[in-house]
Copies of this chain bind each other. A is one copy, B any other.
Amino acid sequence: MNKPVGKTVASQKSPVNQPKTARGEATRKAILDAAERVIGAKGYSDASIGHITSEAGVAQGTFYIYFKTKEEVFSELVLEMGRLVRHTISDATQGIENRLEAEKAGLRAFLEFVKAHPDLYRIVQEALFVDPDAYREYYGAFADGYRTGLTEAEAAGQISIGDPDTRAWALMGIARALGEQLVVFNSDTPISELVASAYDLIENGIKP
Binding site for B on A (CB under 8 A): 43-45, 100, 122, 125-126, 128-129, 132, 135-136, 139-140, 150, 157-160, 162-163, 165-167, 169-170, 172-178, 180-181, 184-185, 189, 193-194, 197-198, 200-208
Q: Are A203 and B205 in contact (CB under 8 A)?
A: yes
- Taking CB atoms, residues of chain B closer than 8 Å to A204 are 160, 204-205, 207
- Taking CB atoms, residues of chain B closer than 8 Å to A125 are 125, 128-129
Q: Are A169 and B178 in contact (CB under 8 A)?
A: yes
Residue of B nearest to A204 (CB): B205
User: In the complex, what distance in Å separates the CA atom of A177 from the CA atom of B168?
Assistant: 10
Identify the interface centre among A136, A167, A173, A178: most chain B CB within 10 Å of its CB: A173
The quantity of this chain's copies bound in the complex is 2
- Taking CB atoms, residues of chain B closer than 8 Å to A193 are 163, 166
- Which listed residue, B45, B122, B169, B200, touches A177 by the CB 8 Å rule? B169
User: In the complex, what distance in Å separates the CA atom of A136 from the CA atom of B141?
Assistant: 27
User: In the complex, what distance in Å separates the CA atom of A166 from the CA atom of B139?
Assistant: 22
Residue of B nearest to A43 (CB): B129
- Taking CB atoms, residues of chain B closer than 8 Å to A150 are 206
